[in-house]
Structure 1
């Protein structure tokens, strides 16, 4: 670790304001550029990730959780940043998936609301067309309200993470097929 990083580390543990200002001056622009390139974020998200990472670094030092560095302060900060960026990306993708689920289930609600048996049959046929294991996974999750862990046990998957990945692939396929089918009918 460079001598200036050791001084910065000590400054963070004793005088938070000066230490935080130095962290921002030294690492902010490099961190944001790295985050934008490495994780395809926009600059605002990268700045938020930097802010969260600095707060985590500061907390780790001030709480005594981090008393000495075995790597450079920059490496430690960027490692926190990597984890923070991945969590943010994962959260955003979950929001997108949940938004898609709401849209798709909104289509099912519309179908139920208007009692359109033809559309229900089309969706059921598309679910059949997907075949196994997609039909079982989607039926168990969306209609029978099973948890990922329960589905994994019932269908003999290794764990719920494998089911979650498979469900996403199945859901995206069903969504694509549903949208194509309903758009063709409207032409």
Structure 2
């Protein structure tokens, strides 16, 4: 319970993130997941969609705090930042043509925040740690591409221009890198 209390103090939480304090990171991961799952499920998504979006958002927040590009201004800033990034990622997904093709009955709704009880899920703990480890072990081209997109907030067009390749190629590479990351993290179905 002492570690969960640590989440109330943003400066302690920042230190915990920067030092890769696995107990505090797990507590942060678990304590915020239910809100994102509720958001995704109430807006045409599945539990798998929620896990994927949350993982992506968590990595962005983790990176931005470690690199001092996000400085929390109040005692709930990190949690709010995590929620906002996940929400924006999910909005981008549901607006994509690929999602609309698979969810043809989807009607755009306003995003409703629902406060659910936090479910402590051991698989979420393991998934968060596995995601962090997998990101460190990604090949340099993938790490660079994902860092440019998620951390440096560069557009696919900007990345394509810098690499002197087509935007579609960058989009495909980013997709393959994320798939590689997911493959490294998610257990293989047999």
Larger relative helix fraction:
1
TM-score (normalised: structure 1)? 0.43
TM-score, normalized by length of structure 2? 0.43
Higher relative contact order (CA 8 A, sep 6+): 2
Which of the two has higher C-alpha Rg?
A: 1
